[in-house]
Amino acid sequence: MAVKFDLENGVAIITIDRPEARNAIDGATALAVSELIQRANSDRDIRVAILTGSGGHFCAGMDLKAFLRGELMRLPDVGFAGVTQARISKPLIAAVEGYALAGGFEMALACDLVIAAENAQFGLTEVKRGLVANAGGLVRLPRQLPAKIASELVLTGDIVPASLLAHHGLINRVVPSGEALNAALGCARKIAANGPLAVAVSKQVLSESQDWLSTEMFERQYQLTAPVFKSADAREGASAFAEKRTPIWRGE
């Protein structure tokens, strides 16, 4: 199995496990990652998911040998490895060590948060192979970085350190090498301790509101968030605060 799955206390860890190929994605791996992403999306016991890689690397992108064999790495409706175009209702955190290149970088761009080790290196290297970064790089990077920086990365295919991207706000936290997963787990546990309905709706508004007009954004936000204030979880959160105890969430 080219992908590992672990679940503990509401946090799922999806680990791409092809260290001999720097976790490059072939057809079988794409299907396996996609299935686990959908499992994280639908399982009520999962509050947060972490995407990472084994052997000191995140993901070197598409396996070019598999590409030449005609294998399918971009899946219908959900994109590269089932991540880049998937509609994921749970928070998804990328824990990055080593290389996050091409499709691997685009998978990280699709995540809500990115925790990277000091040794992490990122690049949209597709142009160096006569390809284009159309698994999200061309459309997401200019939304997450200053336009000129995004253009340089896309057009040169250069590989850059985590520190540069952190400087421009694309990475949440840079940690010592070997500590990306532990740091991501710490962040995931904080999120998992919060009201699941509130987290899901907050993520939805954060994502969808980027395309809303300023004249309609508060009304559209209200339509999504008003049910949260009427939920059982909202009453439980207030009661737990008043009674100085840990809330017991029901997700409804």
Active-site residue 152, yes or no? Answer: no
170 contacts: CB under 8 Å, gap ≥ 6: 114, 144, 145
What is the model's pLDDT at position 252?
84
| pLDDT digits (tens), the chain, 252 positions | 799 999 999 999 999 999 999 999 999 999 999 999 999 999 999 999 999 999 999 999 999 999 999 999 999 999 999 999 999 999 999 999 999 999 999 999 999 999 999 999 999 999 999 999 999 999 999 999 999 999 999 999 999 999 999 999 999 999 999 999 999 999 999 999 999 999 999 999 999 998 899 999 999 999 999 999 999 999 999 999 999 999 999 888
| Residues facing residue 20 across a β-bridge | none
Domain spans, the chain: 3-192, 196-242
Asked if 98 contacts 18 with a C-beta cutoff of 8 angstroms, the reply is: no
Sign of CA dihedral 147, 148, 151, 152: negative
**Share in percent of the chain as helix, strand, coil (round to 5):** 45, 20, 35
What is the model's pLDDT at position 116?
98
What is the model's pLDDT at position 120?
98
Nearest one of 90, 157, 162 to 127, comparing CA atoms: 157
What is the model's pLDDT at position 210?
87
Place of tokens 């799955």: 5
| Residues facing residue 75 across a β-bridge | 79
User: Of the residues 8, 20, 97, 126, which is catalytic?
Assistant: 126
User: Of the residues 106, 179, 216, 243, which is catalytic?
Assistant: 106
First-last CA distance in the chain: 36
pTM score of the predicted model: 0.95
What is the model's pLDDT at position 251?
86
What is the model's pLDDT at position 11?
97
Amino acid at 122: F
Place of tokens 């685009």: 106
CATH superfamily of 3-192: 2-enoyl-CoA Hydratase; Chain A, domain 1 (3.90.226.10)
